[in-house]
Amino acid sequence: MIWTYDLDPVALDLGFAQIRWYGVFYAVAFMLGFFWLKAWSRRKLVNFSTQQIEDLIFAVILGVILGGRLGHFLFYDPSSLFSLEIFKIWHGGMSFHGGLIGVLLAVGWLAHKWRRNFLELTDVIVIPASVGLFFGRLGNFINGELIGRATDGAWGVIYPNFDEIPRYPSQLFEAGKNLLIAGILYVAFRIRARRGTISFLFILLYGLGRTLVELLWREPIDGFILGIPKGAVYSIPVFLAGVIGVLWISRKGKNS
């Protein structure tokens, strides 16, 4: 049945400050990532010390927040880049593509510092990252942002602050997509796929899934580039990079 959005994005109002579900979900995602890697380390599935896991999670947090926040304004709202809005994280506004760049730079720095293979580190983080992206999209849904295109289906959601038209819950579609990606990557991890496969498979699947969501279900409120929603334009190169990477790893394996 058609549902009218009436969720409260504030999880806890302390009077002098508000704790929003969006932030809570991000905190939960990072904590799950930490404990997940700790569990893998105890079971000898990954070779990282507790200190290295802490450093890796901290680097990912910095990459996600700084890259995601800057990316949002660079890619979608450049006119507000130098305003105070950039510091108001509780308002939402995080770009996956900016966060991806931020995380790659942060993890690249750690790989250089530790003198370890870059893909070894990225293979470790993409599964908890996919779960984190799942929680991020739940936060978007509770915030009532990134709404879907109009639909006449029974699963439509009406956002009174936007209009009275039932719309796809595209945030939940993306959340499900991210959870599915995490499951696929976990299977690849358990069968001990060749180094780098999981990392490139992640960006391949995310790029493909995000492009489809942008083209089919998400309202293109961020604008277009050459008639294509911006989110899809930014995601197509991610998908292609994943395809090239998977093929490269495959060919590399055959030649070794």
Angle at 115 between CA 29 and CA 57, to 5 degrees: 10
149: left (phi over 0), alpha (psi -120 to 50) or beta: beta
pLDDT score at 86: 76
pLDDT score at 80: 80
DSSP 62-129: HIIIIIHHHHHHHHT-GGGTTSGGGG-GGG----HHHHHHHHHHHHHHHHHHHT--HHHHHHHHHHHH
* pLDDT by residue, tens only, the chain of 256 residues: 789 999 999 999 988 888 999 889 999 999 999 999 999 999 988 889 999 999 999 999 999 999 999 998 899 988 887 777 777 766 667 899 999 999 999 999 999 999 999 999 999 999 999 999 999 999 999 999 999 999 998 889 999 999 999 999 999 999 999 999 999 999 999 888 899 999 999 999 999 999 999 999 999 988 999 999 999 999 999 999 999 999 999 887 665 5
pTM (predicted TM-score)? 0.92
